[in-house]
Structure 1
């Protein structure tokens, strides 16, 4: 992304004590939930209805998320198919002193579903 382009996070959330372990570091499961939420927000907007997460690649932390950090999640559409969308979801932590650190990124695929949970075309309104 060029330096003149401004990015806006799809989701921003503060790391609270309920998200951390005994040492003040965010647990991976909490972050996975936030990643799924950010991705589904974008996928649901595209699908104009419910979606289901069908795949997430492995992710690796480059820095920990600390208690009090604001977690920024950025979503980029990589592929839009007839029934699914593949997204890149990047995560950064904003420290209390304002420092931004890259945490991880994942590739996730979401499928549009109807009210019975069966896949449907993205263009169909649920």
Structure 2
């Protein structure tokens, strides 16, 4: 993944640019902002898979291999690891494209979403 051009066959669930308001005083994206974006991407993918509303029930720990800088284009990819009767477990991967065109793998994590009904109760998928 590192130093390679973006794989045009693989489509991100979410792609956005890191802006100054999402960074710390040193121009690096804060973990909370990134986790929010990851959860939005994961929930979007899980909702499509579950054909309805979902809620996040678990996110494993994640570590940053590289920082995200102001101006980087952040891409979040999702793939389904497990589809249960009421839950969807996803692998979420984050890459950053630098202004130079370099693409770096930032982090990946596993997240689980449960399908819910209008009352917020779990439902069958």
Selected match of 2:104 from 101, 105, 108: 101
What CA distance in whole angstroms lies between the structure 1 residues aligned with 2:87 and 2:8? 27
The alpha-carbon deviation at position 6 of structure 1 amounts to 2.2
Q: Structure 1: which 5+ residue stretches go unaligned?
A: none
Cα distance, 1:97 vs structure 2: 1.0
Runs of at least 5 residues in structure 2 that lack an aligned partner in the other structure:
1-6
TM-score, length basis structure 2: 0.92
TM-score computed with the length of structure 1 as normaliser = 0.91
**Counterparts of 1:12 and 1:31 in 2: how far apart (Å)?**
12
Superposition CA RMSD, Å: 1.2
Quick check: 1:120 aligned with 2:123?
yes
Give the CA deviation at 1:47. Answer: 1.5
Q: 1:10 aligned to 7, 10, 13, which one?
A: 13
TM alignment of 1:21-100, pairs within 5 A: 21-100=24-103
